[in-house]
Structure 1
Amino acid sequence: MKRYILLFLVFTAISGYAQNSINNYKYVVVPEKFNFLKQKDQYKLNTLAKMFMEEKGFTAYFDNADLPAEIAGNRCNALNLDVQEKNGMFTTNLTVLLKDCKGNVVFKSKEGKSREKEYNTSYNMALRDAFTSLNDVQYAYNGNIQQAVATTQPATVAVAVPAAVVATPVKEVSVSAAIPVVKQAEGTLYAQSTSTGYQLIDTTPKKVLTLFKTSQQDYFIADNGISNGVAFKKNEEWFFEYYKDAKLISEKLLIKF
């Protein structure tokens, strides 16, 4: 019985370490293509994953980019992001993994799910759902990456890290609490219906924004070709919100459907 209790305590300690050792890393490398997809950045999932990691406070790079010397000289200085898909008949199921340079899983998200029929919308919503797991993890880079990489005895590290977590029970502020930088509408946009939602065009005419339907009325996943975010109706006004340089931007929209 004592043996089983000891194994349980060690497993619990290691699990705590896996969820919190992301603090040892400043950088994360995102692949330009996930294995379960056929094209690079298909459905904008890779861009979306990179954006979420930057919102969390990491410095993120695509694996095809020119990496800084700190990473290029030692890939163990960065986490590697991966997304795995579990086949489902009526649902899209995605799980986010953060791995160290040896392939050890440092963080594993819950299984994000979506029942949307359109692939673009379904994959986006499932990935967003999976990334909500990061809301439960406090991230603050502690500069201990070299010590973490050099460690070869996980059980020893596991005993120390949870103690630090208990000593600093700071609850992470949710994204919804962020104060946005508001931009006024620049002109009327005209909505053209598509199979997945709408495309908004100006008087040029030029496509300004693509809206993807969700299960919520007057709430869309939005993409302007540079930034991914959400578009929604509030107090009879439309807004497009996204993150840029770790700041929440809220653009007012004048839409004519």
Structure 2
Amino acid sequence: MTLKNRLGGHTNSYHGYRLEQALEGIAAAGYRYVELSAVRGWTEHVPLDADAKALGGIQRMLNTLGLVGLSLSGHSDLTTSDGLELGLLAVDLCERMGIGIMNTAIGGHYSEHEDEAAFMGNIHKLADHAAARDIRLGIEIHGEITKSGAAAIPVLDRIGRANVLINYDTANVEFYGAVKAVDDLPVALPRVVHFHLKDKRGEGRVWDFPAIGEGHVDFAGVLGIVERGGFKGPMSVEIEFAGEPWPPLAEVNRAMKASRDRLAVLGLS
């Protein structure tokens, strides 16, 4: 099996570290693409209100390290007006950086118990703002309302915007949805725009997301479904460890390289 999908490293894997450290570690691990985190209040490696000079500096870093922006993580609480404004800024940031996919979640990074009616009152403005800029939105498998691909599909149907799709997280589907990715992904794949490749250790709500290959997610099975389904879109590796405090930088770098090496063995590099 040889997959041609673009594979990136997610800078959120370097939560608490500087953007320079994240990009250097991702490049040293052998990735050619990167998902940039612009999440206000969590990992805002790229400031949502960055001016042209700041973005120019980030682009020079990417160029120097041979990295290309794959997607932007712009999570905010889309059930609130403030969260909607942050989402609009994230879409604008995508346009300014030439990035075509913005990943988000209904309740942002922290929220799990979301107000679906409030979300529906905001998502159309965000979706239309993105569509006017030729940007697709990836609603992450996260929280209760989109806890799995099967749960997310009717939400997408109610949104009714062609540029609003799924950012499929291979570990969150277990953590929130109590279903294995290999069992849920086949029904979701036609509506997927982007993947977070993330491993998991422990059952249920155990927060332990190690390097790929060091947990129990069946990535051979996941990639087989991707290949058979003809999905050609981008994927990024996200490692969230056991949460805060984050591991030492050397361990994050090791985990990112180990993840890429394991995926290469499975046919994705």
- Normalising by the residue count of structure 1, what TM-score does the alignment of the two structures yield? 0.25
TM-score (normalised: structure 2):
0.24
| Greater helix proportion | 2
- Greater share of strand residues, 1 or 2? 1
* Structure number with bigger Rg: 1
| Structure with more contact order per residue of length (Cα contacts < 8 Å, sep ≥ 6) | 2
